[in-house]
């Protein structure tokens, strides 16, 4: 497990191409996404400007392999894209992040035909992809889901409710986990691709949330949704295993989102303390403030290094390599980075004092946005259970 990590220390070293990508995404984000971030949050509207900008630069789903028309970016490049977008707008960063989450089951386990159809559509910008695992009574205990899929000739008929679905109603495609054999618990769960336009698919009202207000979170209702049998992802009964493998990879992207939010908060606070004067000099000259900034930067860099190390393992596994510690590293990166982001954004608000507490400045938004990274794709309490179970 983690004790073997030393042999792979160089796997997450960024290349010149990664550095160029970061510069390009940062420029795009600052020019075309950042100007709308506050408005998106205030109005609770989807960031269409971000989607257009990301699709225009082929950054909306960089993980899709080249053979399906995608950019074929490695896991670290995907992390960098999400990180740089989250630095200015967490809601917008959920476009590339959730596109990967929703489509990765197809990429990992889908038939060649399913991959060509849906990964190709995603790469071409014909629709976003969402991931439907959680239910009203099945959150951390995802294996306790009740959504059913019943075979009917050459079709499957799905019935149930999925809750906390990111970008629901905006996405065109949905990976849905459903029970096909109630007697087998997790081994009786299968995965399917459901389309927004399928008869019987409807959505609940958008949730009223603390943060990431520009990314709609809604229930997905499945009422006798009849889909072709070839839309099953992988073999019957393998859906839960695919879902867990997916999360091993995509928890790394949540870590990326967390460090992006934290970087944005640190950058803003560091600039502010150089300008804000009290007692005749910039508050950044005071040792107490300097210690706070040092701790923030230290935690952020530790989180980034852990996230990049996890991304390296994700890349190895994606290419058939043996990295049995991905489960540990994915959980550790997500947990550590999100905890760090919550601490860093809270301290950033503190550094601005009363100004930090107002909506005239972006830090209170960043603090609110950071909180969800400790919760979704498995709460940090669940991450600690995952890590403990994957110790040697």
Q: What is the mean pLDDT of residues 127-151?
A: 96
Does residue 209 register a pLDDT over 80?
Answer: yes
Determine the CATH number of domain 129-237.
2.40.110.10
| pLDDT recorded at residue 14 | 87
* Per-residue pLDDT at 73 exceeds 60: yes
Return the structure tokens found at 139.
């959150």
pLDDT at 389 over 60: yes
Asked if 113 is an active-site residue, the reply is no
292 pLDDT exceeds 90?
A: yes
Count Cβ atoms below 10 Å from residue 183 Cβ, excluding itself: 7
**268 sits in which H/E element:** helix 239-275
Instruction: Please write the tens of the pLDDT for every residue from 314-357.
Output: 998 876 655 669 999 999 999 999 999 999 999 999 999 999 99
pTM metric for this prediction: 0.95
pLDDT score for 13: 77
Q: Is the dihedral angle over the CA atoms 366, 367, 369, 373 positive or is it negative?
A: positive
pLDDT at position 313 over 70: yes
Residue spans of the domains in the chain: they are 2-123, 129-237, 240-389
**Band (2; pLDDT cuts 50, 70, 90):** very low
Burial class (CB in 10 A: 0-12, 13-18, 19+), 346: middle
Mean pLDDT of 265-290: 98
Q: In the predicted model, is pLDDT for residue 69 greater than 50?
A: yes
- Determine the pLDDT at residue 12: 67
> What is the architecture of the domain spanning 2-123?
Orthogonal Bundle (1.10)
Q: Distance between CA atoms of 258 and 268, rounded to whole angstroms?
A: 16
CATH code 3.40.50.300 for 240-389: no
Q: Which of 84, 135, 364, 377 is catalytic?
A: 377
Task: Tell whether the model's pLDDT for residue 231 goes beyond 50.
Answer: yes
**What is the structure's pLDDT at 4?**
41
Model confidence at 134: pLDDT above 50: yes
Beta carbons within 8 Å of 116's beta carbon, 6+ residues apart: 68
Token pair for residue 384?
Answer: 């600690």
- List the single range of 43-52, 101-110, 192-201, 312-321 with lowest mean pLDDT: 312-321
């Amino acid at each position: 497990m983690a004790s073997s990590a030393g042999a792979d220390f160089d796997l997450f070293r960024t290349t010149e191409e990664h550095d160029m990508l970061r510069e390009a995404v940062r420029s795009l984000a600052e020019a075309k996404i950042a100007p709308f971030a506050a408005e998106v949050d205030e109005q609770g509207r989807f960031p269409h400007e971000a989607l257009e900008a990301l699709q225009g630069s082929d950054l909306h789903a960089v993980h899709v392999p080249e053979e399906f028309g995608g950019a074929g970016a490695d896991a670290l490049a995907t992390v960098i894209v999400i990180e740089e977008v989250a630095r200015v707008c967490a809601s917008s960063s959920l476009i590339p992040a959730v596109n990967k989450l929703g489509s990765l089951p197809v990429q990992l386990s889908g038939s060649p035909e399913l991959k060509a159809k849906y990964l190709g559509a995603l790469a071409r910008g014909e629709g976003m992809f969402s991931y439907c695992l959680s239910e009203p009574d099945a959150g951390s205990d995802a294996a306790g889901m009740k959504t059913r899929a019943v075979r009917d000739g050459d079709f499957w008929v799905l019935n149930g409710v999925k809750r906390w679905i990111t970008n629901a109603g905006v996405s065109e495609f949905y990976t849905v986990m459903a029970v096909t054999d109630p007697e087998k618990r997790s081994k009786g769960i299968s995965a399917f691709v459901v389309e927004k336009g399928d008869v019987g698919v409807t959505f609940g009202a958008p949730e009223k949330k603390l943060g990431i207000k520009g990314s709609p979170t809604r229930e997905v209702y499945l009422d006798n949704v009849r889909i072709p049998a070839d839309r099953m992802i992988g073999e019957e009964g393998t859906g839960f295993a695919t879902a867990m493998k997916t999360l091993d990879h995509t928890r790394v992207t949540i870590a990326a989102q967390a460090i992006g939010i934290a970087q944005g908060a640190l950058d803003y606070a560091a600039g502010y303390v150089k300008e804000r004067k009290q007692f005749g000099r910039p508050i950044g000259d005071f040792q107490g403030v300097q210690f706070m900034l040092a701790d923030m930067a230290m935690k952020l860099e530790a989180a980034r290094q852990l996230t990049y190390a996890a991304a390296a393992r994700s890349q190895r596994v994606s290419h058939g390599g043996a990295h049995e510690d991905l489960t540990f590293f994915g959980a550790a990166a997500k947990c550590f980075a999100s905890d760090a982001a919550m601490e860093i954004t809270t301290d950033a608000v503190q550094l601005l004092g009363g100004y930090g507490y107002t909506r005239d400045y972006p830090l209170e938004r960043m603090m609110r946005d950071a909180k969800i990274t400790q919760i979704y794709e498995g709460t940090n309490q669940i991450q600690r259970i995952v890590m403990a179970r994957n110790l040697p």
